[in-house]
Amino acid sequence: MPELPEVEVARLGISPHITHKTVRSVEVRNPSLRWPVEPKLAKILHNALITHTSRRGKYLLVHCLCHDGASGVLMIHLGMSGSLRIASLDAAPQKHDHIDWVFDDCVLRYHDPRRFGSVHWHDVRDGDYLQHPRLIQLGIEPFDALFTGAHLLARCRTRKMSIKQGLLSGDMVVGVGNIYACEVLFRCKIHPETACADLTRAQCEQLAVQIKHLLQEAIAQGGSTLKDFVNSDGASGYFQMHYNVYGRTGAPCHACAAPIMRMVQGQRATFFCPVCQPASKAIHA
């Protein structure tokens, strides 16, 4: 589910079905998401043309040219449990299908049991969408050429918190959620509790490289499930990578066979291999 790769795969999945098409109607069945859905959304988007889609962090952005000539951006966040699907016009909405965008030949449907996700409307007359309060605070994109080991090192130098929490905080880099934070630290053989400020230049270089690789691999993997975005009945559109540590408490490490351990950092589960990812104290001892 929704870390950056899943959001990107969702975007790739829905984009061909909605781009250059006109929204005929919008049905908001439940506006109570993380933030209330704009009450005038249906009116604003009536007969709006979808020009293209993009993404910023975990926000999927749908760029619209409205009937009145104004333009704007639909900002969709999937939260913990959100998903998007392309359904046929006659497919009845299921429980937790909160919003429909109806086109001539299909429906874009937002589904989110926990309602931690959100749907914002940003009118460009109110300024550049990248200046939106939800977007402006986000860190650098992992695939940006400026996201490098040097960038990471500079951001880490003054941070006392653990690298696991640092990666999740979203201001060093966006899009890395709990699963990929655990997995990338395993790949780099870095203990999750290592203080950001204690990371070496080499570790930061490696982290930057592996974050790009891991997310790219996950997107590629998700690409094979793109067909599931159309007319699927059940929960689909998501995919599961082969995890080395995430959710594998007690199972043997794929590298050294030691049992994977679970701990809690900032109220989130962290999984790691105590042998492959030794605590820094052990390194210096």
Partner DNA sequence: AAGGTAACCTGACTGC
Partner DNA sequence: TGCAGTCAGGTTACCT
φ, ψ dihedrals at 263, nearest 5°: -145, 175
Query: Should residue 267 be labelled a site residue for DNA when binding is judged by CB under 7 A?
Result: yes
Q: Which is the catalytic residue, given 2, 5, 142, 192?
A: 2
Residues touching DNA: how many (CB under 7 A)? 36
Question: Judged by CB under 7 A, which stretch of 44-52, 65-73, 175-183, 205-213 contacts DNA?
Answer: 175-183
2 catalytically annotated: yes
Q: Which one among 8, 13, 18, 34 touches DNA, defined by CB under 7 A?
A: 34
Among 16, 31, 93, 113, binds DNA (CB under 7 A): 113
Rounded CA separation 177/193 (Å): 16
- Is 137 an interacting residue with respect to DNA (CB under 7 A)? yes
Q: Closest Cα to residue 174, out of 205, 203, 206, 146?
A: 146
CB atoms within 10 A of CB 17: 17
Q: Which stretch binds DNA (CB under 7 A): 107-115, 149-157, 203-211, 272-280?
A: 107-115
Alpha helices in the chain (DSSP H): 4-18, 41-45, 133-136, 149-156, 163-169, 178-187, 201-223, 280-284
Amino acid (one-letter) located at 170: G
Residue 243 φ/ψ, nearest 5 degrees: -90, 145
Smallest distance, DNA to C-beta of residue 173, A: 11
Q: Which is nearer to DNA, 103 or 239 (CB)?
A: 239
Stretch that binds DNA, among 99-107, 120-128, 200-208, 265-273 (CB under 7 A): 265-273
Nearer to DNA, 125 or 160 (CB): 160
3-class SS string, 235-254: CCCCCCCCCCCCCCCCCECC
277 and 191 in contact (C-beta within 8 Å)? yes
Q: Is 3 a catalytic residue?
A: yes
Active site residue 268: yes
Sheet strands (E) in 103-174: 107-111, 118-123
Q: Is residue 268 involved in binding DNA (CB under 7 A)?
A: yes
Active site residues: 2-3, 58, 268
Binding site residues, DNA, CB under 7 A: 1-3, 6, 32, 34, 57-58, 77, 79-81, 95-96, 113-116, 134, 137, 158-161, 165, 168, 170, 177-179, 238, 240, 266-269
